[in-house]
Amino acid sequence: MSKKRSLRTMAASAAAIGAAGWATKKVLDTTKEKKEQLVKEEIADRTYDTDEHVYLIGGGIATLSAALYLIRDAQFPAEQIHVIEALDVLGGSNDGAGSNEEGFVCRGGRMLNEETYENFWDLFDSVPSLDMPNRSVTEEILNFDHLHPTHAQARLVDGQGEIVDTTTMGFSNEDRLELTKLLLTPEDQLDEMTIEQWFNDDFFETNFWYMWQTTFAFQKWSSVFELRRYMNRMLLEFSRINTLEGVTRTPLNQYESLVLPLYEVLKEKGVDFTLNETVTDIDFANDDTITATRLHFKNRQPLDLTAKDVVMMTSGCMTDSATLGSLDQAPEHPEQPPLSGELWYKISLKKKGLGNPAPFFGKEAETNWHSFTVTAKGDALLKRIEQFSGNIPGSGALMTFKDSNWLMSSVVAAQPHFKSQDPDTTIFWGYGLYPYEKGNFVDKRMVDCTGEEILYEYISHLGWQDDWEAIKKDIVNVIPCYMPYIDAQFQPRKMSDRPAVVPENSTNFAMLGQFVEIPEDMVFTEEYSIRAARIAVYTLFDIDLPIEPVTPHNRNPKVLAKALQTMYR
């Protein structure tokens, strides 16, 4: 056989193999589509009795998402869905409130990510935007974010008020080895181990650690396998952690951008909402199953459940027991126990498989941090921050003072951040990871400081003390917020301490939120709560449709190559 003929034969064979592979994929895709269509047709034909009800305990993003999944994917009657919230407002940790006269406040801010929030984008693509006609919330957010890209130019600031060169991660060979070893270590070998038990002391002085810690709010004593999950899940962000280019922002605060449009669509469909009511306990059947039989309330008589009813409860809320201060008053130490944690504790004693809240809600000294929201008249202060950082509002994400005793960071969002915010009013948010330490410039612990004292500490890190009186005259309010359990989800734990979303042997009960176990995914994200809600609904309502999988960026050769290059920067 001639060389040319041999090449033609090989090319023909390769083409045939390629065509066969393409044909096989097409057949598989078609089969999958047909199966999904049959499942959807079966669900569309379902009928539910009028005495079938779903009770969603807690009014945060997890339960609101579960309500929409019930309506959208299970075709469950909206008027038979009941959301029960202990506070006088929905939204859980996705909050935002205030006025131009009294000042605005966000207890925290949730950064989104376009590449890893798979179920988040799918869900909110079903929610109409309140401000962009004929657009979904997903389209609204991504449109805004693409028009306001993030590229931090002052990610770290040192003790002399100088911007740190963060193009290098600052790793030693020992750091690289320990980090690589962690990514390869099975999780079952990491029970109850902390980050500081895994790494050498020098690791915690690297640029990488300061940036990773403050971006995601890790502590040295946080669980090392939560860090491992973050590294694997967010490996795509590793190479751009110094600019935070992967951060996706909502047009406004998360309450107005996420919670309100989701609430509006649920209310319009007929979902029942009860505020200012606490579920204090849940009874279960006295058998080997996990079957909820009765709900107990703070302000009304117990509710007996039928065999057809379903209960989904928020197993814990990171902003439970949060307290607020003001310009001239520090937040009081909370006297109220964590409501969601208390309920979880009670039911965990009744049935095996419902997890263990003690590692998360039993060590306040390890799980707290302090945030603050600054409201000012005019934009003089924001202009000063812009001139220092090189970032216009909305483009810089976090700026961290790495030598701050409080490990203080700030975020200047695009203005306005609230719908009711006047054009001549500006706001920005910040937080400190070590609020029980004394400040560098204010001789008080952050938890004991008024809003004014916190702002003085902040501007002092920028070297602006001489201009304090001029800065202060524009300030409307600085609202500090103490959150005793905000980092609880990162606590060292056993794998068994978090319950499955639908515990083994459950017939009508699921647990939602940040304290359930979802392998491969990462806590402290909107995606985690929404994924949990989808798992709960699909499992308890026998919906044989795919849930958006965790995207394996950590197995993408290009991502791995960039991560390796970043390790040696």
CA dihedral sign, ordered 194, 196, 199, 204: positive
Instruction: Compare 188 and 63 and report the one with higher pLDDT.
Output: 63
Q: Kindly tell me if the per-residue pLDDT of 18 is higher than 70.
A: no
DSSP codes of every residue in 223-245? BHHHHHHHHHHTHHHHTTTTTTT
Q: Kindly tell me if the per-residue pLDDT of 361 is higher than 80.
A: yes
- Torsion angles phi and psi, residue 226, rounded to 5: -70, -40
Q: Which whole number is the average pLDDT over 132-142?
A: 97
Q: Assign 19 a pLDDT band (cuts: 50, 70, 90).
A: low
Active site residue 230: yes
As given in the structure block, the two tokens for residue 384 are 């000063």
- Token match 């203080």: residue? 408
Peptide bond into 416 cis (omega under 30): yes
pLDDT of 99 reads: 98
As given in the structure block, the two tokens for residue 355 are 């997890």
Q: Assign 110 a pLDDT band (cuts: 50, 70, 90).
A: confident
pLDDT of 335 reads: 85
Residues in a beta bridge with 296: 281
DSSP codes of every residue in 36-74? HHHHHHHHHT----TT--EEEES-BHHHHHHHHHHHHTS
Instruction: Compare 34 and 246 and report the one with higher pLDDT.
Output: 246
Residue 542: alpha-carbon gap to chain centroid: 27
- Tell me which residue of 166, 175, 224 sits closest to 204, measured CA to CA: 175
In angstroms, rounded to a whole number, what is the distance separating the alpha carbons of residues 183 and 206? 18
pLDDT of 7 reads: 47
Question: Cα-Cα-Cα-Cα dihedral of 288, 293, 296, 297, to 10°?
Answer: 130
Instruction: Return mean pLDDT, the chain.
Output: 94
Q: Assign 49 a pLDDT band (cuts: 50, 70, 90).
A: very high
Characterize the bridge pairing of strands 408-411 and 398-401.
Answer: antiparallel
Catalytic residue among 55, 117, 230, 431: 230
Q: Which residues contact 184 (CB under 8 A, 6 or more apart)?
A: none
Q: Kindly tell me if the per-residue pLDDT of 25 is higher than 60.
A: no
Q: In whole angstroms, how far apart are CA 43 and each of 36, 312, 542, 543?
A: 11, 21, 9, 8
In angstroms, rounded to a whole number, what is the distance separating the alpha carbons of residues 281 and 298? 9
Maximal CA-CA distance, the chain: 92
Q: Kindly tell me if the per-residue pLDDT of 14 is higher than 90.
A: no
Q: Which whole number is the average pLDDT over 199-208?
A: 98
Q: Kindly tell me if the per-residue pLDDT of 2 is higher than 90.
A: no
Question: Using an 8 Å Cβ cutoff, are 223 and 541 in contact?
Answer: no
- Token match 């020098």: residue? 202
As given in the structure block, the two tokens for residue 438 are 């004394």
Question: Using an 8 Å Cβ cutoff, are 153 and 163 in contact?
Answer: yes
As given in the structure block, the two tokens for residue 528 are 């985690």
As given in the structure block, the two tokens for residue 291 are 């079957």
- pTM, two decimals, is 0.93
Compute the chain's Rg from CA coordinates.
25
Q: Assign 35 a pLDDT band (cuts: 50, 70, 90).
A: confident
Instruction: Compare 27 and 166 and report the one with higher pLDDT.
Output: 166
In angstroms, rounded to a whole number, what is the distance separating the alpha carbons of residues 292 and 284? 4
Neighbours of 552 (CB within 10 A): 12
Neighbours of 307 (CB within 10 A): 11
Q: Which residues contact 307 (CB under 8 A, 6 or more apart)?
A: 291, 508
- Token match 């008080």: residue? 444
Q: Kindly tell me if the per-residue pLDDT of 337 is higher than 90.
A: no
As given in the structure block, the two tokens for residue 280 are 């204090």
| One-letter amino acid for residue 254 of the chain | Q
Tens digit of each residue's pLDDT (9 = 90 or more) over 452-508? 999 999 999 999 999 999 999 999 999 999 999 999 999 999 989 999 999 999 999
Per the document, the length of the chain is 569
In angstroms, rounded to a whole number, what is the distance separating the alpha carbons of residues 482 and 501? 29
- Token match 């004593």: residue? 221
As given in the structure block, the two tokens for residue 222 are 């946080």
Q: Which whole number is the average pLDDT over 235-239?
A: 94
DSSP 499: P
The 8 Å CB, 24+ separation contacts for 163-171 are: 163/389, 164/207, 164/402, 166/207, 166/211, 166/242, 167/242, 167/569, 168/207, 168/569, 169/206, 169/207, 169/208, 169/566, 169/567, 169/569, 170/205, 170/206, 170/207, 170/208, 171/206, 171/208, 171/567, 171/568
Characterize the bridge pairing of strands 247-248 and 272-274.
Answer: unpaired
In angstroms, rounded to a whole number, what is the distance separating the alpha carbons of residues 483 and 537? 30
Tens digit of each residue's pLDDT (9 = 90 or more) over 4-13? 555 455 555 5
